[in-house]
Homo-oligomer: A and B are copies of this chain.
Amino acid sequence: MAFYAAPLEGLLERLSRLPGIGPKSAQRIAFHLLSVPKEEALSLARAIVDLKEKVHYCKVCFNITEGEICGVCADERRDRSTICVVEEPRDVLAVERTGVFAGLYHVLGGAISPIDGVGPEELRIRELVNRVRDGGVGEIVVATNPNAEGEATAIYLANLLKPLGIKVSRIASGLPVGGDLEYADEVTLGRAMEGRREF
């Protein structure tokens, strides 16, 4: 019985560790890399090295950045009195894409999840409290995910931050725009009813 050459086996093993990549996808990707020009495959390897060597977390908000401080924190035009709290760096981009938020961010690095062993100490909550204590913050918008962990984190933050004398708000839950009442789950529809606004 012949097996794959060792370098191919090694790549397959490492590709299989990536999220969403099973053995079949790993094989497809590995054979693709085998067939493309050497320069193209090496540019992917270099991009991975670059990512790990050049991308860091912003010292202020823990968003990802190439410098010490991220583009949002460094931007003088942003409203420094409002901080939007998100779970992950990718959530920053999601909020930025809406174009309706002009404040700063704070990336927690996850959500409180006792099952996964993630308590408040594992998240960058202390750093958030310090930012509030440093002054100048009027409102914290909690934009953690609208699931069990995100909601628990939001409630925890509200209890922690409100006593500091600032406004703490939560992004709205409700029907997605373009959605269909008929297909909405009852929890979402219930939230949409509770969160109704007068014309």
Chain B residues closer than 8 Å to A10, beta-carbon distance: 47, 50-51
Chain B residues closer than 8 Å to A43, beta-carbon distance: 14
Tell me if A89 counts as interface (CB < 8 A to partner B). Answer: yes
Taking a contact as CB atoms under 8 Å apart, the answer to whether B41 and A5 are in contact is no
Taking a contact as CB atoms under 8 Å apart, the answer to whether A14 and B65 are in contact is no
Copies assembled: 2
Tell me if A137 counts as interface (CB < 8 A to partner B). Answer: no
Query: A31 touches which one: B40, B90, B97 (CB < 8 A)?
Result: B90
Taking a contact as CB atoms under 8 Å apart, the answer to whether B20 and A70 are in contact is no
Tell me if A64 counts as interface (CB < 8 A to partner B). Answer: yes
Taking a contact as CB atoms under 8 Å apart, the answer to whether B2 and A71 are in contact is yes
Interface size class of A (residues with CB under 8 A): 35 or more
A14 CA to B88 CA, complexed, in Å: 22
Known contacts A19-B29, A29-B18, A29-B20: does B7 contact A47 (CB below 8 Å)? Answer: yes
A106 CA to B30 CA, complexed, in Å: 20
Known contacts A6-B66, A44-B14, A66-B5: does B30 contact A51 (CB below 8 Å)? Answer: yes
Q: Residues 120-143 of chain A: 1 if any B CB is under 8 Å from the residue's CB, otherwise 0?
A: 000000000000000000000000
Tell me if A28 counts as interface (CB < 8 A to partner B). Answer: yes
Chain B residues closer than 8 Å to A48, beta-carbon distance: 11, 33, 41-42, 44-45, 48
Tell me if A196 counts as interface (CB < 8 A to partner B). Answer: no
Residue in chain B with minimal CB distance to A54:
B7
A71 CA to B6 CA, complexed, in Å: 12
**Across the A-B interface, the 3 shortest Cβ-Cβ residue pairs:** A11-B47, A45-B45, A45-B48
Other CB < 8 Å A-B pairs besides A5-B66, A27-B90, 5 of them?
Answer: A1-B97, A30-B51, A38-B52, A42-B48, A42-B52
